[in-house]
Amino acid sequence: MGTALPGDYDSDPGRFSANQEATRRFAALDDVHPGVARRLAAEGCRTVIDIGGGNGTLAVCLAAEGVAAVGADTARHLASAPRPAVLADARRLPFPDGTFDGAAALWMLYHLADPVTALREARRVLRPGGLLAVSTSGRFNDPELASVLPGWGRPSSFDAENAPDQLARVFEHVEIQRWDRPAVHLPDRAALTLYLRGRGLSGHDAPLAARRLPTPLTVTKRGMTAWARRN
């Protein structure tokens, strides 16, 4: 098992903002949120808990599909998420058993040393037949940036390589959708700097690293979205 990635949403909010901005401006393909919202709606989910949902990107997408969402997070970004939203730890959700039709834990389980605990809690608050969506990157994501990303290639506590086994420990039915394709086009050094900031480099280090790489640059995204259903 790999190590948990530090949660820097409060200590370095600029990193989170840079990641969202780079995705919005330079992703050649949709982020996972719209597709997850569409499928949860298509599966008949009317109430969804967005675990670790931050400032509500998924909640906005779900609202467009006519699905009610409750955000749950420990980060201050929750203050700007659509209501209702609760300050809550993914490992101890303040809801009774079987409260929700659907759940999502997108881009967050790798911040936990033991993601299985959060997966069990997500299963607990799902009704029988309820559906959970999760997403994570692979260990060899962003290969074009391997020379400048600290820790590139190392396992995390929940990555595309070890996540399927963890999901299978908790859920009866698991469906894995992997991706490995060019997905981000960075036209110039300013775009590359923003992207590197979003990938965890500091405001000081991101522009220095950007000078070491050619632009324009197309970046390959490797990872997975998984769907897990409880009996």
Instruction: Report the pLDDT averaged over residues 24-40.
Output: 90
The pLDDT, as a whole number, for residue 136 is 97
Residue 28 has pLDDT above 90, yes or no: no
One of 2.80.10.50, 3.90.1150.10, 3.90.1010.20, 3.40.50.150 is the CATH number of 30-183+222-229, namely 3.40.50.150
Which CA distances in Å does 61 have to 24, 108, 194? 14, 18, 24
The pLDDT, as a whole number, for residue 9 is 86
Instruction: Report the pLDDT averaged over residues 36-50.
Output: 98
Residue 29 has pLDDT above 80, yes or no: no
Structure tokens at 145: 């940036």
Give per-residue pLDDT as tens, 156-208: 999 999 999 999 999 999 999 999 999 999 999 999 999 999 999 999 999 99
The pTM assigned to this predicted structure is: 0.94
What does the alpha-carbon distance between residue 43 and residue 129 come to, in Å, rounded to a whole number? 10
pLDDT band at residue 227 using 50, 70 and 90 as cut-offs: very high
pLDDT band at residue 105 using 50, 70 and 90 as cut-offs: very high
Structure tokens at 199: 């990938």
Residue 79 has pLDDT above 90, yes or no: no
The pLDDT, as a whole number, for residue 7 is 87
pLDDT band at residue 76 using 50, 70 and 90 as cut-offs: confident
Give per-residue pLDDT as tens, 196-222: 999 999 999 999 999 999 999 999 999
- Percentage of the chain exceeding pLDDT 90: 89
Residue 1 has pLDDT above 90, yes or no: no
Domain coordinates of the chain in residue numbers?
30-183+222-229
pLDDT band at residue 78 using 50, 70 and 90 as cut-offs: confident
